[in-house]
Amino acid sequence: MNLKKQQAIGIFDSGIGGLTVAKAVAEALPNEDIIYFGDTARVPYGGKSKETVSEYALEITGFLLEKGVKMILVACNTVSAYAKDRIIEKAGTLPVLDVISAGTQAVLDHPKHKNVGVIGTLATVNSEAYVRSIQQEDPGISVTQKACPLLVPLAEEGWIDNDIAKQALSVYLKHFADKEIDSLVLGCTHYPLFKQVIPSILNREETYIIDSADSIAQMAKEKLEKLDLLNSEGGEFQCFVSDRPQRFHELAQRFLGKPLKQAEIIHL
Ligand code: DGL
């Protein structure tokens, strides 16, 4: 495949969560065009089977390939846990990076990472993808997980700091009360939306919050540099969704804090 600098970076998630990744990528690589896909018709993915999530992920990969992207960032932990290998296979020689590998790297890079907590969707937690990925690098790290299935619908609704969000978080995070974790991985790309409230609810100052967004943005930058594919002329951000484009557009603008082109609807 003959890739060119001017081609966009493709980023996808089940909904708005992957915007946490897109934001970090846009900051690290301001001259890159970004094509974002949010599968708003089928969100949430976290309670679905491996077969279903893989089928959706391959359809989206096909869409991004048709759009002519030069790299794919899997901005969904659930998809990374269930379908990473199949996406890589479908993408051929196109570089594919995923948030679980990036999150693992962020854990290893941080000095305090011997007793790690991971929160994620049911799918991500049940797959044990983080446990394997982290312990493959260092079997001495202890990993405690907790699935938080209500957080994705709350984030999609824009309920990120109201009483209901805080109550849900305090029930989920109680799991770590006696675990003395030194870092907590936000193992779902929707969860950084709750970043403002998580530290006070966790109530453990010494726990470092790990979000894979900056890590995957850095990995993307290094990869493009290595392949001599860095763009110096782009910077466009275009969103596609499978349902409710107006709703997505409003949430996306609010979250990214800047005006965006209208999101387009795509039926895969
Ligand atoms: N944001 C996704 C993740 O990182 C998907 C959440 C969902 O759709 O349940 O897992």
pLDDT tens digits for 92-148? 999 999 999 999 999 999 988 899 999 999 999 999 999 999 999 999 999 999 999
Cα angle: 99, vertex 266, 58; to 5 degrees: 45
Domain ranges of the chain: 9-98+214-265, 101-212
The answer to whether the CB of 80 is under 6 A from ligand 1 is no
Q: Which two tokens stand for residue 195?
A: 């970043």
The stretch 174-187 carries a mean pLDDT of: 95
Q: 121 near 79, Cβ under 8 Å?
A: no
> Residue 7's pLDDT band (boundaries 50, 70, 90)?
very high
80 alpha carbon – ligand 1 mean position (Å): 10
9-98+214-265 and 101-212: identical CATH topology:
yes
Q: What is the pLDDT of residues 44-100, one digit of tens each?
A: 999 999 999 999 999 999 999 999 999 999 999 999 999 999 999 999 999 999 999
Is residue 239 flagged as an active site residue?
A: no
| SS3 assignment, position 239 | strand
Average pLDDT, the chain: 95
Q: Which CATH class is domain 9-98+214-265?
A: alpha beta
pLDDT digits (tens, 9 = 90+) for 242-259: 999 999 999 898 888 889
> How remote is the CA of residue 112 from the centroid of ligand 1, in Å?
26
237: its two tokens: 């951000």
Q: Is ligand 1 within 6 A of the CB of residue 124? A: yes
Q: Hey, which CATH number is domain 101-212, 3.40.50.1860, 3.20.20.70, 1.10.3090.10, 3.40.1530.20?
A: 3.40.50.1860
Q: With CA atoms as reference, report the closest residue to 201 among 224, 172, 240, 238.
A: 172
How far out from the chain centre does Cα 152 lie? 12
Strand partners, 146: 119
Cβ atoms 240, 263 nearer than 8 A: yes
